[in-house]
Structure 1
């Protein structure tokens, strides 16, 4: 395992409102997550990285703190770096099976998108297009602060969607664009309402779905949510034990990281459902 050169400080840590983590003024911890558990989950999953990495928080001009790691085992500083952009309910830890191999080839960066992992969680606009712009702007501000001129941008899932959007806005900064199972949406029909006469009940369902956050159910379930579900599935033998087996990270460790780092960590203004529902609901 690698020993990371940590440069983050407590003042850079993601600060959570205690009201989001506890019931009855802290007597009971209903949502099984905390800043300390989040840090521990990241450290545990990145503990399987063999190459040395540096981790820190990049502060952007908008005031966001973006959790970042850098690796370079290629013995070359001149190559265009790879930048990894994770998907929904993810973070830098989910690239753990790729970090060593990629950093052996060229310099490598990975970061937590705002609203995910250990990066800043702030209020996003209610409009999905505006939320998308904030994501793209945060990536560009991150690039400026890190000092990367051009990059090989690799985006997975939601990260693929945002990487593509970033490449449209800042093509001069992207040498190559690699999309791994990316989100994709058709262009919305602005005359959709006029072309279809939908029943009232369907319009009501649409309004409910637009305001619904799919991650809220897991958070409301607290200790009976995703984390507990993973334990039960593993106990029934449906998922292999929590270990490093034949070079492949097991499902349980990945789900544990996701549940602590993203799904269960309170964030009442999640941008992802706004983006997702905005494009997926047919009435939009």
Structure 2
């Protein structure tokens, strides 16, 4: 385990220097987190899988008595990284120590090559998560995961249920089966898009335009600057500018990107019922959360919430409400913890 930073800081290089993309990504991450006043420890955690280094940040709990026994672990979605959890990290750290890591193949973590077989690739990723947990000396985790990360977190909980105290799924991808009739309903333009998707990695266009990438992201997603800062465009571009091994793994696990080859609708019921699950959906999300809710919402160990006015990125669209739901769910499953009142824990920042 290699410590690379102790507090969010911005490093300034002389005008004649030419920092690498990795250095620029670290700086963009630091600017986003430091702008929120987050004091964090950053580490590169080396795991056995192909000597991969997992970029990890830790934010210590701000309270003397955390309200759960085990820390919160954040797993980001496709094409993202730890910095996009932003304000959520700041708020959750008022409740419990927070660890957030970049999935292998994404952002600041190493770019190992995964198997082209989708079942093997999925096992490689979730076993990497288990190796990371072991290296971090975490007995159990309160896992909070978004989108593709939610799919992986569920797969992890299926294989390692004794390591998960609570599973919180923020608008998870990959739960519903692909409609076999969808191809017949597509327009010629939509079919051409799917054809392109099948032949390239999802964010190939961002890499293709090179240094124009941040500008392209800014034009495509002007709303992101309102959720974070203008640094988010550099961060997203640089997080996806390197060898896209994580993207390749995601592509192998997916059907036309929108669905999983092994959807959780066929697997979720095998999850150990001792693992409490909380779904948090965005009402305006492109994810078919209504189907997910109808499939699993009535199970005794499952809670389901829908955040009004939120889209797919529920944790960023309304961080206060999102954290309030997460904290309430974790506290409800930890009756013996000497915790904090939700209303006094979640404050506007």
TM-score normalised according to structure 2 size: 0.59
Question: How many angstroms apart in 2 are the aligned matches of 1:76 and 1:126?
Answer: 46
Aligned length: 236
Q: Which residue of 2 aligns with 1:101?
A: 91
What does residue range 215-226 of structure 1 map to in structure 2 within 5 Å? 215-224=203-212, 226=213
Q: Which residue of 2 aligns with 1:143?
A: 133
Q: Residue 69 of structure 1: SS of its match in structure 2?
A: strand
RMSD: 3.5
The runs of 5 or more residues in structure 1 that have no matched partner are: 1-5, 10-28, 193-204
The runs of 5 or more residues in structure 2 that have no matched partner are: 6-17, 181-192, 263-349
1:29-51 alpha-carbon deviations (Å, 9 max, x no partner): 9xx97122112111111212424
Question: How many angstroms apart in 1 are the aligned matches of 2:38 and 2:219?
Answer: 34
Equivalent pair of 1:67/1:111 in contact (CA under 8 Å): yes
The reply to whether residue 64 of structure 1 matches residue 52 of structure 2 is yes
Shift of 1:174: 0.4
What does residue range 156-171 of structure 1 map to in structure 2 within 5 Å? 156-171=146-161
Shift of 1:268: 5.5
Question: How many angstroms apart in 2 are the aligned matches of 1:51 and 1:36?
Answer: 20
The reply to whether residue 123 of structure 1 matches residue 123 of structure 2 is no
Question: How many angstroms apart in 1 are the aligned matches of 2:261 and 2:41?
Answer: 46
Q: Residue 56 of structure 1: SS of its match in structure 2?
A: strand
Shift of 1:74: 2.4
Q: Which residue of 1 aligns with 2:3?
A: 7
Equivalent pair of 1:209/1:277 in contact (CA under 8 Å): no
Shift of 1:101: 0.8
What does residue range 148-187 of structure 1 map to in structure 2 within 5 Å? 148-186=138-176
Q: Which residue of 1 aligns with 2:122?
A: 132
Q: Which residue of 1 aligns with 2:25?
A: 38
The reply to whether residue 54 of structure 1 matches residue 41 of structure 2 is yes
Q: Residue 153 of structure 1: SS of its match in structure 2?
A: strand
Question: How many angstroms apart in 2 are the aligned matches of 1:283 and 1:211?
Answer: 17
Question: How many angstroms apart in 1 are the aligned matches of 2:260 and 2:156?
Answer: 25
Q: Which residue of 1 aligns with 2:215?
A: 228
